[in-house]
Amino acid sequence: MKQIHFIPTGKKRWFWSPLILLSCIFIISGLFEPIIFGNPKLYKYFITIGDLILVGFYSRIFWHKNSVQWNKLGMHIRLNSIFGKSISFADVKTAEIRESELIIIEKDNRKRVFNIKDVQKDDVVKLHKIIEKYSSVA
């Protein structure tokens, strides 16, 4: 059984915020060369290190095949796909779990169907509880 990796957006800023600040410092110091070093290639290394930190930050969602990112407005669900689907909690009409599917019906009657056949049941229940908590689904 596969596991869903839950990523609450806006949490764990204590780790990523200093890294992004450090990345900006590396990039700015590489571009404007405020400190004179003996080796001019060092500035290119600064820019490269800053860019690699940003690539790590923005590629987090692709680290896991099954992942869910959410905040109080909506969620992005990636289950067995590369890009996934974004859902606004204000638009959710109903959400139900069937044998091998999670079906989310939006207020404009658009169906979002996710294959959950190989996903752990505890994770599917947790995903359904997140949808219930932040949307008007009862």
Instruction: Quote the pTM value.
Output: 0.76
Structural domain ending residue among the three candidates 44, 62, 80: 62
Domain count, the chain: 2
Q: What is the mean pLDDT of each run of 10 residues along the chain (138 residues)?
A: 85 78 94 87 94 90 87 91 91 92 93 92 93 84
Contacts of 90 (CB under 8 A, 6+ apart): 73, 74, 135
Q: Give a yes or no: residue 3 inside a domain.
A: no
Clarify whether residues 81 and 106 are in a common domain: yes
